[in-house]
Structure 1
Amino acid sequence: MNKLIGSPKKKAKINEWLILAIIILALIPVTIDATILHIAIPSLTLSLGATGNEVIWIIDTYPLIMAGLLLPMGVLGDKIGHKKILIFGVSIFALASLFAGLSTQPLYLILSRALLALGGSMIMPVTLAIIRQTFPDQEKCGRALGIWAAVGTMGAAIGPLIGGILVEYYSWEAVFLINIPLLLIVIPLIWFGVPNGISDPKKPWIFKDACLLLIGVIVFVYALKSIFKENQSLYVSAIAGLFGFLLLRWFFKKQKNTDTAMIDISLLQNKQILFAMLLCFVPMAVIVGFEFLLAQELQFVHKFSPINAGLFMIPFAFSSALAGPLTGYLIGKIGFRKLIITVLFISSFSFFMLSTLNFSSLTIPVFGWLVVLGFSLGMILMAATNSIMATAPIDKAGTAGSMESIAYELGTGLGIAFFGIVLSQVFIRKFSISKDLLSEIGNKSYNSISDVLIIANNLDAAKQQEMKNAAMIAFQGAHNIVLIVAGSILGILALAIIFSGSKKTTKLNL
């Protein structure tokens, strides 16, 4: 039986928008942290001497560990109260930001990012749950979720710009340290301004089951990330993938066959929720993969400063955030299914067009297609978020918020990993230098442009320039192919929805 702590309805009539403002302040560092490192990667790589593989793990550790922890933390919030989890999460996130900013080796930064993920996994799902419980009116709740989605999308989208400003005027460490002052202000605001809300102390939360889910997600995703890597045994990747899959299967089987299940399996069996999670996962994967690789091309190839690279992405950032308010209106006019198919095709075509353009300057065609791409992808994410939260019962809002966030974080982590792997494989094949230079550098690994630049720094000026020119040409060609792949994925998803012939899974209750 649910236990009402405080008076959420009374609070909502007086302070509902203030509550929304407070939880959004808590959310901002979490969303920005998913992409803020994209611009800082070149400076960070050279400063720490990180390899291409270490860079991928520095980026991916955060979303992948979050993906494994989101569901347990959402359930824990439903059990002990979302306010408590939010305060714990913000405190851990602030401490982890300090550790990350003081890191002197790639390993320390990777571990700090893992701690950031722990804090982030507490913050993300409970902010959605608090919104659902604070706004009982469906129309107001839709507007609040729209603001949440807009801020979340905007945070991830403008992360590169903020990172560029901090790197240019301070250092890469500042991209983490900047979180601390904001979070120290947010903690007392949460304490005094956010109600406890609805919780169920009798809701089961078993630590070993939470660990089982976390390990299963990490191992399975590791297998997906490593299967196409150079010098990685296919057998090791296959065994890891099978082991991770079996752990996840064991977890969900236990949840289905026990009276003390942490999660309601009916939520995972709901076709509307699963479809909406897919519509969170795929666009988020292409968004972060696109931003990650574009940030590198702008700085490594076209010699943009960090801040100018961030400014280059502003059209994409703002258009993706502004898509939210229009989404509900268009769904009411043409229907959810038609809207999703249309914007998927538009975003697919945008990627194809961008693959034909030169990113050396922000020309009118580049600007235009960045706006169209951001707007169409942002609209998909907004519709999917509303669908998940509108479908779930109010007392399971934390769990539903976790499922939505899992889709986002898996998209973030796997998007960077997948597109990074595709880029690496094409880069290797396109990278071409003279035989004399090749014999001099020997069997050194150059799977990425950052690897090449680290090796080139130890050569004389002429050879260094040859290495850099070859790397720039290879990277630019590889990036264009990645854009085509991204467009193809979105186009295939749109065709799959068309030919599925199922309208039940795409009917929204908004």
Structure 2
Amino acid sequence: MNIKKYLILMLVSSALFLIVIDMTVLYTALPLLTQDLQATANQKLWIVNAYALVVAGLLPGLGTLGDYVGYKKMFLIGLTIFGGASLLAAYATTSNILILARVFLAIGAASMMPPTLSIIKLTFIDAQERTLALGIWSAITAAGAGLGPVIGGLLLRSFSWPSVFIINIPVVIVVLVLSIMFIPNDQVKKTGRWDFVSSLQIMVGLISLVYGIKAVTQQHNTVLISILAFVIGVLAITWFIKRQNNLENPLINLKIFKNLNFTSGTLVAIVTSFVLIGFEYILSQRLQLVLDLTPLQSGLSIMAMAAASLVGAIVVGMILPQYGLFKLQCITLIISFIGIFLFYWVLDMNLLIQIIILMILGGGLGGAMTLASNAIMTNVDDKESGMAASIEEVSFEFGGSLGIAILGGLFSALYSLSFEFTGSAINLSKAKGSLDETIMQAEQLSPEVSKQLISAGKVAFDHSFSLIIMIGSLALIATILLIIFLNTREKKISHY
């Protein structure tokens, strides 16, 4: 066993862990953060969503840049930016400053995420070792999203919300120093010039599309804004595709999507991240605001799903060579569907039963995410590993961003529509924005009216959450059917 290999895996995995938990660590801090910064429902969504949105937009360009300048260099640059942005976020005094800090965090994350995969691929030459390493990487991706609320809960038990960002800084320093010492300098894989224009096109396209989706789900945004964002996004991506087809050295080689395994991996990465991040975003708030758990109790409840994700990811990575990609993709997605569908029926049951169902969901999603990473990274040449890594990361981050934008946005809209209260002594327009705002309005009322208002908010929350669960279930079923269709079509083509 080569200890240095696994030290390198530990270093890039530690950086990845910071990136992933930064997506969800705010979930347990949101109620406190919202009150401290007086954030509106829209600002709250942007505080969470700006990170994933910007990461998704920058990944295609910054990911492929590593193929030209070196993966270690990109990793170290991204790590440094991430550390500085964490410091800015910790000392944010307004919601807008915090949103800005989250944008800089996203720039750092987008710079160092793809190199983590490329470094793993170049470090682990043996196929079995590489599969195990990618399984561990995927397990950290799956488990990190669930551990974020736990870490947030532990920190909030003794400190205020800025601590969820301050904790990044010492980890960044240690990983930075050790990475300089132990990660070898890699040779540049591609010659020629990195295409800035293509990078700009895909960034504008992805961000505009997600913003357009987000705008549709916001009650106060006009239809014109949504349409304009969609038009800009579609045009930018169309120009990007045309440019890639005409370039000798494209930013992203679109021909790779003709590979069924690569395409199915990309699809599974988007959908699993969509379901996981969107579901956890709402669930973490429900545990605190509806079930009245502390941030730590909420985080520990979600940790069960994270632990199951970790186990599912590692087990699937180990049995992949024996059972094959297609069969395991279907199995893990079916398990995920069973988990989220059953959760619909246990919303009013004992918390322990809910946690058991969450573990089923987590195990399925963790396994599916491992398969997605393997399908993407093992179907390209080493010289294009940066490109493949950027597509893999875009899939996960874009899916997570869509999860928060679509599921989070729809949830907010459904909450307002479901909220029913006949009292006249309150500002219903504010109380109907979110359960956080309902509770803030309730604090200004008499105990009896306050109790009635909060009760109405909790009923509206669970009604809206039930509908979101059904949407997540349908997304998983649709993905299973699409993968079966693609596999059947591929077999027919191969037969002829």
Output the TM-score relative to the length of structure 1. Answer: 0.92
CA distance in 1, matches of 2:218, 2:429: 16
Counterparts of 1:382-397 in structure 2 under 5 Å? 382-397=370-385
1:448 to 2:434 alignment: yes
Q: Tell me if structure 1 keeps the 8 A contact 2:264–2:483.
A: no
CA distance in 1, matches of 2:138, 2:112: 14
Change beyond 3 A, Cα 1:414–1:153: same
CA distance in 2, matches of 1:129, 1:160: 28
Match of 1:263 in 2: 252
- What secondary structure sits across from 2:274 in the alignment? helix
Residue identity matched to 2:339: S
Out of 67, 72, 90, the residue aligned to residue 79 of structure 2 is: 90
Q: Tell me if structure 1 keeps the 8 A contact 2:11–2:175.
A: yes
- What secondary structure sits across from 2:193 in the alignment? coil
Q: Deviations over 1:311-367 (max 9, x none)?
A: 11121110001112221454444432222222222221221211111367532x323
Q: Tell me if structure 2 keeps the 8 A contact 1:64–1:218.
A: yes
Out of 440, 458, 479, the residue aligned to residue 493 of structure 1 is: 479
Counterparts of 1:43-82 in structure 2 under 5 Å? 43-82=32-71
CA distance in 2, matches of 1:329, 1:130: 21
CA distance in 1, matches of 2:312, 2:171: 27
CA distance in 2, matches of 1:429, 1:287: 25
Out of 139, 143, 166, the residue aligned to residue 155 of structure 2 is: 166
- What secondary structure sits across from 1:97 in the alignment? helix
Q: Tell me if structure 2 keeps the 8 A contact 1:74–1:401.
A: yes
Out of 163, 179, 187, the residue aligned to residue 168 of structure 2 is: 179
1:347 to 2:331 alignment: no
- What secondary structure sits across from 2:203 in the alignment? helix
Q: Deviations over 1:33-92 (max 9, x none)?
A: 111111111111111111111111110111111011111111111111111111111100
Consecutive unaligned residues in structure 1, runs of 5 or more: 1-11
Counterparts of 1:29-48 in structure 2 under 5 Å? 29-48=18-37
- What secondary structure sits across from 1:288 in the alignment? helix
Counterparts of 1:468-479 in structure 2 under 5 Å? 468-479=454-465
CA distance in 1, matches of 2:392, 2:190: 23
Q: Deviations over 1:226-272 (max 9, x none)?
A: 11321322232112101111011112211221235333232344443
CA distance in 2, matches of 1:489, 1:349: 13
Q: Percent identity?
A: 33
Q: Tell me if structure 2 keeps the 8 A contact 1:22–1:193.
A: no
Q: Deviations over 1:442-500 (max 9, x none)?
A: 64462321222233334344433332121111112221221122112212222333345
Change beyond 3 A, Cα 1:330–1:185: closer
1:371 to 2:356 alignment: no
1:231 to 2:231 alignment: no
Residue identity matched to 1:185: V
Residue identity matched to 1:286: V
For this pair of structures, how many residues does the alignment match?
493
Counterparts of 1:48-447 in structure 2 under 5 Å? 48-200=37-189, 202-358=191-347, 361-363=350-352, 365-437=353-425, 440-441=426-427, 443-444=429-430, 446-447=432-433
Q: Tell me if structure 1 keeps the 8 A contact 2:430–2:438.
A: no
CA distance in 1, matches of 2:159, 2:490: 52
CA distance in 2, matches of 1:332, 1:263: 28
Match of 1:4 in 2: none
